[in-house]
Amino acid sequence: MDHFALKDGVMHAEDVPLPRIADEVGTPVYVYSRATLERHARVFREALDAVPDKLIAFAVKANPNLAVLKVLQKEGYGADCVSVGEMRRALAAGIAPEKIVFSGVGKTAAELVAALEAGIGQFNIESEEEGLELAEIAAGMGLTAQCALRINPDVDAGTHDKISTGKADNKFGVPIDQAGQIFGKLASHDSVNLRGVAVHIGSQLAETAPLERAFEKLGALVKALRGAGHTITHVDLGGGLGVPYRKGEVLPAPADYGAMVARVTKDWGVALIFEPGRVIAGNAGVLLTRVVRVKRGLNHPFVIVDAAMNDLARPALYGAYHHFEAVEPTGAEMTANIVGPICETGDTFAMGRECDALTSGELAVFRTAGAYGATMASSYNSRGFVAEVLVDGDKFAVVADRIDAGSIMDAERVPDWLA
């Protein structure tokens, strides 16, 4: 459930009419709903009520906006970070260092140092090589790094290839059949407290079965590691729960996921860590855009909007579907190609889409844009970076300024020898 709905024929975010935001902030603009973020945070937490000892660490990559992180910090969430940039954001939002998990295959030495200095809660080590480097750095600093070893369980998550992470040939984690041996090697270093294992098999999962398979493999590994004399106190189950992008689409509810987790992990005797991203932020945001013009097309008209693939990359990158609707629908419909202004055919949000009838100057939204939206923006075609707004009841605030093309150009220079 989200808080974007028509009131008196005009789409609102909570109690704020979207045309007001468009007038005051301009378009395109991402609009987030605080009530929706909080609701999703609560629903996910309550779904895991049966898990006694847990940390829910929001996957910052899904939406790193500081105000969004602040909302989740107030909900008691930690942060799953994949760069020092994300870690700094989490800390700036007031998330305690011990609630921060650091994942990612390419953590640099400088990042490992910065995260050790910050005293983060857990490093999810993705390779033997990384573990050895971390052990050496931590020893040099006279510190002990709290760590889990990320396992590649070789499970097909059944999602888009580009966001699948748990198959044997993906770059993430260590192969499950080598995990015992690598764990043993790394655990022998005093400067790392290798206290558990981690897994994340992919994103936008449409069923819980692949997760269950991965978790069962992990449970067997925990047993084997304990059998080999290791102490296992933490298991990180990653993120991945999908959300509905299409009207009427049914995905596993957080409660289904929670019940499965409780069943599979009931005898593990560990603290569990969760890293949800999309399920918290996805439906808490829309991308508000204005129709530039409608152009005749061969089969269907082209609705050219002022948002483009640089603002919302998912359709161009993954062929992703984002529901598109008018802010002030008249009831009339059309079949249209919905495109942005960027000079490549990939800048297409939808072809032959049945949608609300729209004409030049009217406002529309792409739904489910709160996760992997603004954060994946670029300035391609010198379009600048899109603004972000957070709504709370009847008020709103700009939580990320629009960075115009001029400011980006200001950071560039022509060297004297070229002038």
Give catalytic residue positions.
343
Least Cβ distance, residue 274 to ligand LLP (angstroms): 9
Residue 203 CB, nearest approach to ligand LLP (Å): 3
End-to-end CA distance of the chain: 57
Biggest distance spanned by C-alpha atoms of the chain? 70
- Between residues 28 and 239, which has the closer beta carbon with respect to ligand LLP? 239
The torsion angles phi and psi of 272, rounded to 5 degrees, stand at -105, 145
Give Cα 20 to chain centroid, integer Å: 28
Q: How many residues bind ligand LLP (CB under 6 A)?
A: 23
3-state secondary structure 260-324: HHHHHHCCCCCEEEECCCHHHHHHHEEEEEEEEEEECCCCCCEEEECCCCCCCCHHHHHCCCCCE
Task: Find residue 272's DSSP bridge partners.
Answer: 54, 235
Nearer to ligand LLP, 40 or 200 (CB): 200
* Shortest Cβ 323–ligand LLP spacing (Å): 15
The interface region with ligand LLP, picked from 7-15, 38-46, 185-193, 232-240 by CB under 6 A, is: 232-240
Give the closest residue to 328 by CA, choosing from 369, 303, 365: 365
Q: Is 99 in the site for ligand LLP (CB under 6 A)?
A: no
Should residue 78 be labelled a site residue for ligand LLP when binding is judged by CB under 6 A?
Answer: no
* CA–CA distance, 295 with 49 (Å, rounded to integer): 52
Q: Select from 282, 281, 273, 271 the least CA-distant residue to 238.
A: 273
Q: State which of positions 286-325 bind ligand LLP (CB under 6 A).
A: 314, 318
Binding residues for ligand LLP restricted to 175-204, rule: CB under 6 A: 200, 203-204
Q: Is 275 annotated as a binding residue?
A: yes
CB closer to ligand LLP out of 302 and 380: 380
Provide, rounded to whole angstroms, the least separation between the CB of residue 372 and ligand LLP.
Answer: 3
What's the angle, vertex CA 302, arms to CA 298 and CA 305, rounded to 5? 170
**196 marked as binding residue:** no
Nearest distance from C-beta of residue 159 to ligand LLP, angstroms: 9
User: Would you say 131 or 276 has its CB closer to ligand LLP?
Assistant: 276
- 283 part of the interface to ligand LLP, by CB under 6 A: no
Cis peptide before 28 (omega within 30 of 0): yes
40 near ligand LLP (CB under 6 A): no
Closest CA to 63 of 36, 96, 26, 98: 36
- Chain-centroid distance of CA 82 in Å reads 11
Angle between helices 209-227 and 254-265 (to 10 degrees): 20
DSSP SS3 for 187: helix
Scan for tokens 């044997």, then name that residue: 168
| Pick 22 or 47: Cβ nearer ligand LLP | 47
Closest CA to 65 of 30, 104, 96: 30
Closest to 386 (Cα-Cα) out of 26, 17, 11: 26
Of the candidate residues 130, 154, 275, 311, the single one contacting ligand LLP (CB under 6 A): 275
CB of 154 to ligand LLP, least distance (A): 16
* The two structure tokens encoding residue 181: 């041996």
The answer to whether 367 contacts ligand LLP (rule: CB under 6 A) is: no
Minimum distance from residue 93 beta carbon to ligand LLP (Å)? 17
Nearer to ligand LLP, 204 or 265 (CB): 204
Choices 277-285, 302-310, 350-358, 397-405; region in contact with ligand LLP by CB under 6 A:
277-285
Footprint of ligand LLP on 371-390 (CB under 6 A): 371-372
**Amino acid, single-letter form, for residue 325:** E
- Binding test (CB under 6 A) with ligand LLP, winner from 3, 89, 278, 290: 278
Residue positions in the annotated binding site for pyridoxal 5'-phosphate?
240, 275-278, 372
What is the binding site for ligand LLP (CB under 6 A)? 59, 61-62, 80, 103, 163, 165, 200, 203-204, 238-241, 275-279, 314, 318, 371-372
Binding-site residues sit at 240, 275-278, 314, 318, 344, 372
